[in-house]
Amino acid sequence: MLNYSIRRVLSAIPTLLVLVIASFLMIKAAPGGPFTSERPLPPQVLANIEARYGLDQPEWKQLWDYVTGILFNFDFGPSFKFKDRDVNDIIAQGFPVTLTYGTLSFLVASTVGIALGVAAAIRHNTWLDYLAVGISFAAQALPNFVMAPLLVLIFTYKLGWLPGGGWYGGQWQYLILPVAALSTSYMATIARITRSSMLEVLHSNYIRTAAAKGLPARSIIWRHAFKPAMMPVVSYLGPVFVYMITGSVFVDIYFSTGGLGRAYVNSALSRDYAVLLGVTVLYGVLTIAFNLITDLIYGWLDPKIRY
């Protein structure tokens, strides 16, 4: 397993390199640049700014400087839009925010989702099943961009219980609405996947054998059915976790969290090349890491899988 992990980590390096080069070329191909504005800068002023940020260099040189900067100094370069800050600052400030609400949302979505799914499967075709399916359908229909305004309308505007936005270092009252908004629809999807996968496993032959042997229901469900039923759920959870901790653009915008999701999208719109590339690299690294972790969890869930 160690060999396998090392191989996967090594193969990630060319993947990341391709990711950086492709992103670099794509953002450069987009019309306009970081300093295109409603009032075009006089050529001389523009030239000074471009020289300051090295944008007057040939593109291969810019790419080379960028990649070597990351490899040797762990420096992702300056932000072109927020001139008092560099990319490392922006990530250092925004990532902990999204990591916090993302992890919490993930925990909420996966625990509630799995619990609902398992409950529905065990009590198949009973009121509990219908209730769980009903809840997950309703929640599925409430993506974060619908949930967020609804929650703010109810809990901030009507009831005045919770603040409608802000972060304040992640104090609990500022966390509740973003976490609720982000987790709801994922919770629903997780519940659905868990339910159907659990049902499939519960109807398989070895479960019937276990029941015929007279094993107690609790042992059948938790020792024999639960682990294999989690396989499809885990493959869904891996990417969802990365998505959640890197921030939802909508949650960031709607709740003014100062998170990384918004910084990422804004950097694309404002052609803030270095920020865009820096965050892309971060997302790439996280995606690769969690794909590996997901694969390792498979091995634990299913003894047939060997590395």
Q: Is residue 96 near another protein by the rule CB under 8 A?
A: no
Q: Is residue 26 near another protein by the rule CB under 8 A?
A: no
How many residues bind to another protein according to rule CB under 8 A?
A: 53
Min separation Cβ 177 and another protein, Å:
11
Nearer to another protein, 10 or 84 (CB): 84
Q: Is residue 39 near another protein by the rule CB under 8 A?
A: yes
What number of other Cβ atoms are within 10 A of residue 210's Cβ? 19
List, in sequence order, every residue forming a beta bridge with 78; answer none if it has no partner.
Answer: 86
Give the burial string for 82-115 (b: 16+ CB within 10 Å, else e): beeebbbebbeebbebbbbbbebbbebbbebbbe
Stretch that binds another protein, among 28-36, 68-76, 119-127, 238-246 (CB under 8 A): 28-36
Which residue shows structure tokens 């990532």? Answer: 95
User: Nearest CA to 191 among 242, 129, 245?
Assistant: 129
Q: For another protein, which residue of 57, 88, 93, 103 counts as binding (CB under 8 A)?
A: 93
Min separation Cβ 259 and another protein, Å:
7
Min separation Cβ 146 and another protein, Å:
14
Q: Is residue 167 near another protein by the rule CB under 8 A?
A: yes
Q: Is residue 153 near another protein by the rule CB under 8 A?
A: yes
> How far apart (Å, rounded) are the C-alpha atoms in residues 44 and 160?
53
Are 20 and 67 in contact by the 8 Å Cβ rule? The answer is: yes
Nearer to another protein, 232 or 258 (CB): 258
Give the pair of three-digit tokens for residue 209.
């054998």
Sign of CA dihedral 114, 119, 122, 128: negative
Q: Is residue 163 near another protein by the rule CB under 8 A?
A: yes
Nearer to another protein, 166 or 216 (CB): 166
For another protein, the binding residues in 228-267 under the rule CB under 8 A are 252-254, 256-259, 262-263, 266
Residue 128's Cβ-count burial label (10 Å; 0-12, 13-18, 19+) is middle
What number of other Cβ atoms are within 10 A of residue 271's Cβ? 19
For another protein, the binding residues in 132-151 under the rule CB under 8 A are 149
> How far apart (Å, rounded) are the C-alpha atoms in residues 264 and 221?
43
In the stretch 62-81, what mask flags binding to another protein with x, by CB under 8 A?
A: ----------------x--x
Q: Is residue 49 near another protein by the rule CB under 8 A?
A: yes
Q: Which amino acid is at 197?
A: S
List, in sequence order, every residue forming a beta bridge with 86; answer none if it has no partner.
Answer: 78
Nearer to another protein, 93 or 294 (CB): 93
In the stretch 191-230, what mask flags binding to another protein with x, by CB under 8 A?
A: ----------------------------------------
Q: Crossing angle, helix 87-122 and helix 260-269, to 10 degrees?
A: 120
Given the rule CB under 8 A, which residues bind another protein? 30-33, 35-42, 44-45, 48-49, 51-53, 78, 81-86, 90, 93-94, 149, 152-153, 156-157, 160, 163-167, 252-254, 256-259, 262-263, 266, 269-271
